[in-house]
Structure 1
Amino acid sequence: MKEVNPKETCRAYAFEMWMNAPMPMVTLFKTLNVSRLVKISRKTGMKFNMLMCYCIGKAASGVKEFYLLPVGNKLIQYDSIAVNTIVANKEDEVSSCDIPFYDDLSLFNQHYLQLTKQVAESCANHDLTESMVIGTSALAQYEIDGAVGMYSGIFNNPFLIWGKYKRHLLKTTLTISFQFHHTQMDGAHASCFLNGLQKEIDKL
């Protein structure tokens, strides 16, 4: 990763407009058809949450704005992406686990299982500071209609939240929220990402 001059990037105007805004985060909601993920999870034994994280990383990797992130008062350019997941640890608390994104599903799954197990047993967060990390929080036991993340003023990373998926007669759906810093991307980029996420789910 490296610091870049905002004026030499496609986010120059956004950096000027939104870096000092008191609330620079934007949240979009989208209902996804996750029937395919449920089917694959049941057939292969792969965790549904892992498959969601993989598709998120896959969709984000094709949107160049994900590789730029405001950090402090600087704009940082990254070479890689990671997906964060929240892990229930052995002390009945939660820990944070960053998983490097790999285009190869089996390799991503291998790292997901290894790292989440490590974090659960050690109760120590696993942070990847050299990657642009996409946060996720799965409230899989609860039926929620949406959630808006907290803006701490410290972490500007994009963040997705979802609850329990809903079964219908012909499909299974999952409503997600996507929060992002307006300096990093605009609504059109975020919408493109969410559309890409549905496409990655459909073709997995």
Structure 2
Amino acid sequence: MQEVNPAETTRAYAFEMWMKAPMPMVTLFRTIDVSNLRKISLRKELKFNMLMCWCIGRAASQVKEFYMLPVGDRLVRYDSIAVNTIVANKMGEVSSCDIPFCDDLAEFNHNYLRLTRQVAESCKNHDIADSMVIGTSALAEYEIDGAVGMYSGVFNNPFMIWGCYRRSWFRTLLTVSFQFHHTQMDGTHAARFLDLLQKEIYSMKSPARF
């Protein structure tokens, strides 16, 4: 990661307009078809949440705006992406776990299982400081129509929230919310990311290595 001069990036105007805004976050909602993920999850006994996180990383890695993030009053460029998930720990509370993204699903799954187990047992967050982290929160036991994340003024990372999926005839649908800092990206970039997420889910093939 390295600090960059905003004036020398495509986010120069957005940095000037939104860095000091009292509420610079934008939230988009979308219902996506996750039938393919559910099928793969059941057939291969893979965690649905892990598959979602991997697809999120795949989609984000194709949008260059995800590699830059406002941090404090600076604009920082990262070389890598991680996906965060919230873990129920052994004390009955929740902890935060960052999973480094990689294209290899087997490796990502291995890291996901290892790190979430570590966090659940230790009750200590696992943070990756040198990657641009996409936050996620899965309220998988509950039906929700949407959620808007909190803006603390400290963390500017993009964040996704979803509840349980809904089965409808031959499709399985999931409503997600995606919150992002307007300095990092515009609505078109966010909408393109959600399009890419849907395409990644549609095109994902049942892995042979599991």
Aligned twin of 1:136 = 136
* Structure 1: tracts of 5 or more residues without a match: none
**Is 2:44 the partner of 1:44?**
yes
Aligned residues: 204
Aligned twin of 1:16 = 16
Question: How far 1:79 moved relative to its partner?
Answer: 0.1
* Structure 2: tracts of 5 or more residues without a match: 205-210
The normalised TM-score by structure 2 is: 0.97
**Is 2:50 the partner of 1:64?**
no
**Is 2:189 the partner of 1:185?**
no
Question: How far 1:86 moved relative to its partner?
Answer: 0.1
Aligned twin of 2:31 = 31
Aligned twin of 2:83 = 83
Read off the aligned partner of 1:191 and give its amino acid letter: A
Q: Once superposed, which parts of structure 1, at least 4 consecutive aligned residues long, lie more than 6 Å away? A: none
Aligned twin of 1:154 = 154
Question: How far 1:30 moved relative to its partner?
Answer: 0.4
Question: How far 1:148 moved relative to its partner?
Answer: 0.3
Distance 2:202 2:47 in 1: 17
Distance 2:10 2:46 in 1: 38
Aligned twin of 1:93 = 93
Structure 1 residues 98-152: Cα deviation after superposition (integer angstroms, max 9, x where no partner): 0000100011000000000000000000000000000000000000000000000
Distance 2:82 2:37 in 1: 20
Read off the aligned partner of 1:160 and give its amino acid letter: M
Structure 1 residues 170-204: Cα deviation after superposition (integer angstroms, max 9, x where no partner): 20000000000000000000000000000000111
Read off the aligned partner of 2:81 and give its amino acid letter: I
- After superposition, residues 99-138 of structure 1 pair within 5 angstroms as 99-138=99-138
Distance 1:113 1:32 in 2: 25
Read off the aligned partner of 1:81 and give its amino acid letter: I
Distance 1:64 1:129 in 2: 19
- After superposition, residues 1-12 of structure 1 pair within 5 angstroms as 1-12=1-12
Distance 2:147 2:95 in 1: 20
Aligned twin of 1:54 = 54
Identity %: 74
Distance 1:30 1:81 in 2: 22
Q: Secondary structure at the match of 2:145?
A: coil
Question: How far 1:71 moved relative to its partner?
Answer: 0.3
**Is 2:163 the partner of 1:163?**
yes
Distance 2:56 2:27 in 1: 16
Question: How far 1:53 moved relative to its partner?
Answer: 0.1
The normalised TM-score by structure 1 is: 1.00
Read off the aligned partner of 2:88 and give its amino acid letter: A
Distance 1:124 1:170 in 2: 40
